[in-house]
Amino acid sequence: MATVVKPTGPLRQIGAPPMVPRIAPREDLNPFRIAQIQFDMAAEFLKLEPGLRQILRTPKRVLEVSIPTKMDNGQVKVHTGFRVQHNISRGPGKGGIRYHPNVTLDEVKALAAWMTWKTAVLNVPFGGAKGGVICDPKRMSKTELERMTRRYASEILPIIGPSMDIPAPDVYTDAQTMAWIMDTYAMTVGHSVHGVVTGKPVSIGGSEGRSEATARGLLFVVEEACKLKKIPLRGATVAIQGFGNAGATAARLFAEKKAKIIALSDTRGGVTNSRGIDPIKAIRYKERSGTVVGMPGASRMTNDDLLTMKCDILVPAALENVITLHNAEAVKARIVAEAANGPTTPHADEILARRGITVLPDILANAGGVTVSYFEWVQNMEGLMWDAEEVNARLQKSMVKAFHEMVETMRKHHVPPRAGAMILAVGRVAEATLVRGLFP
C-alpha cells in the first residue's frame, strides 16, 4: 500500500503544495496493479474500513468469452474477449470496448476500475465497466470485424443492457462497431433498444457531439488549468502523442483556440515543426497514407522524443504506460493532459509532481466521452434529441464543475491533481456503497 510523504523539492501544482505517494523502487507496469495503487492512496486519505476497501478494489463481475469468427478465406479463427464490470453501486456499468492485439484481462480490469472513478468524478449515475477483444483490427477486413463484433456481442449479451451495462467505443472501435452491437442485441431481444450502447451513429439514436466529446472535454479542462497556472492558451505549444479520434480532434480544437501544434504522432512515428502543424492537413494526409509520418512541412521524430520535447501542453492520447520512471525526468511540458487511459505510471506521477509539472488525470481529463455518453443514454431513454450546441454547453458545464471540485479536494488534502480526483471519486463510490448496504 502506498504511503504519503512530503516532497523533497519545490512543487508548483494547482492549489496548495501537495504531498505525493512514495512508490517502491521497482516499477510495476501491470495496469490493474497501478489502478489499485491509485485506489489505495485515496482510501488512505479517506480512512476507509478494510472491508469497504476490499469491495471497492475487487471487480464485481469478470467475463471471458471465446469468439469463433469466420475469416474471409473461409477459415475459422477463435479470438478471446472480455467484459469486466468493476462497480455498479452508482448505476449501470459504463465503459468502452477496445480491439487490440495486446489486450489483457488485467488491462480490461484496470480500465473498468478507472471508469468507476471517472463516472464518479463527473458525478454521472453510472458505474465502471470495460470490454476488450484480443485481435489485430488493422489486419482484418470490415466484414471480418463485423462477424467478430456480432459474435462477441452475442457472447456478452446476458450481462449488457440499458439498465445493466452500456458499451461504447474505445481503441480501434467506433460508431459502426456500436451499430453492429446494437443491431445484434435488437435481433436477439426482438426489438430496437437504442440505449444498449452509446457512441453510435446519430442516424440510429446517437448524440450530436459524441464523436468530439473526449477531446472537447479535455480542452475545457486544459483551459481551466491554464487559467489557474496563468498560461495563455493562445500561442501555447502543444504536442500530441496518438493521432486517433481523440488525438486528431484535440489537435483541431486546440488549433481553433490559436494554440500551436508543434508535434503529432501515431503508431508509426511522429512529426514536428516548431512553427506549427496544421491539424486539418495532418488528418487528410493520414487518411491518404495511413500515418502522419512523411507529411510535407514537418520533420520526422520518434514517439519517445515527442514525449520529452519542450512544450507547454503534452497530450498523451494513445495507450497506457508511456510516461514512466525511465522518461519522466526528461518531460519538459508544463501541463500533461491525459487523453489516454493510464498513460502515466505512479513512479512518473511522483517525479512529475516533484518537478512542478501539472498532470491532469485521465479520470477527469478524458471524461468528456463518458459524459456525453450519459447525455446520449438520457436522450435514448427519454426519447429526446439535443442539438450539438446544447450538448457542448452541458459538457462544458459538467467538465468545469468537476475540475473545480477536484481542485477543492486537492487544496483540502494538499495533494496533486490525480490524488485529488481519486479522493473525490472514491469518496462518492464509497458513500453509495455504504448507503446501499451489503446484501444479504
User: pLDDT for 267-326, tens place per residue?
Assistant: 999 999 999 999 999 999 999 999 999 999 999 999 999 999 999 999 999 988 999 999
Between 8 and 220, residue with greater pLDDT: 220
| pLDDT score of 11 more than 90 | no
Q: What confidence score (pLDDT) does residue 48 get? A: 97
Closest CA to 436 of 119, 88, 85: 88
Q: pLDDT over 70 for what percent of the chain?
A: 94
- Alpha-carbon distance of 18 to 419, in angstroms, equals 9
User: pLDDT for 204-243, tens place per residue?
Assistant: 999 999 999 999 999 999 999 999 999 999 999 999 999 9
Fold match between domain 59-204 and domain 213-365: yes
C-alpha grid cell, residue 250: 484535440
Mean pLDDT of 175-198: 97
Q: What confidence score (pLDDT) does residue 430 get? A: 98
Assign domain 59-204 one CATH number from 3.40.50.10860, 3.30.465.10, 3.20.20.450, 3.30.1540.10: 3.40.50.10860
Q: What confidence score (pLDDT) does residue 319 get? A: 84
The yes-or-no answer on residue 60 being catalytic is no
| pLDDT score of 186 more than 50 | yes
Helix 245-256 crosses helix 213-229 at what angle (to 10 degrees)?
Answer: 50
| pLDDT score of 19 more than 90 | no
Domain boundaries, the chain: 59-204, 213-365
- Alpha-carbon distance of 145 to 138, in angstroms, equals 10
Q: pLDDT over 90 for what percent of the chain?
A: 92
**Does the predicted TM-score (pTM) go above 0.85?**
yes
User: pLDDT for 345-356, tens place per residue?
Assistant: 999 999 999 999
Q: What confidence score (pLDDT) does residue 177 get? A: 98
Residue 25: pLDDT band by 50, 70, 90 thresholds?
low
C-alpha grid cell, residue 285: 494526409
Residue 28: pLDDT band by 50, 70, 90 thresholds?
confident
Residue 13: pLDDT band by 50, 70, 90 thresholds?
low
Q: What confidence score (pLDDT) does residue 27 get? A: 83
Classified as helix, coil or strand, 301 is strand
| pLDDT score of 12 more than 90 | no
Q: Output the 3-class SS for 156-185.
A: HHHHCECCCEEEEECCCCCHHHHHHHHHHH
Q: What confidence score (pLDDT) does residue 4 get? A: 40
Q: Which residues pair with 100 in a beta bridge?
A: 134
Contact 342, 320 (CB under 8 A): yes
Of 94, 109, 118, 130, the active-site residue reads 130
Torsion from C-alpha of 118, 119, 120, 124, nearest 10 degrees = 150
| pLDDT score of 31 more than 60 | yes
- β-pairing verdict for 76-87 and 127-134: antiparallel
Classified as helix, coil or strand, 263 is strand
* Count of CB atoms situated within 10 Å of the CB of 279: 24
Q: What integer best gives the mean pLDDT of the chain?
A: 94
Closest CA to 332 of 323, 342, 320, 341: 323
Residue 3: pLDDT band by 50, 70, 90 thresholds?
very low
Mean pLDDT of 38-62: 97
Q: What confidence score (pLDDT) does residue 290 get? A: 94
User: pLDDT for 246-257, tens place per residue?
Assistant: 999 999 999 999
Q: How many residues does the chain have?
A: 440
Backbone angles phi, psi at 62, to 5 degrees: -130, 120
User: pLDDT for 368-390, tens place per residue?
Assistant: 999 999 999 999 999 999 999 99
Q: What confidence score (pLDDT) does residue 298 get? A: 95
Assign domain 213-365 one CATH number from 3.40.50.720, 3.40.30.10, 2.60.40.10, 3.40.50.620: 3.40.50.720
| pLDDT score of 97 more than 90 | yes
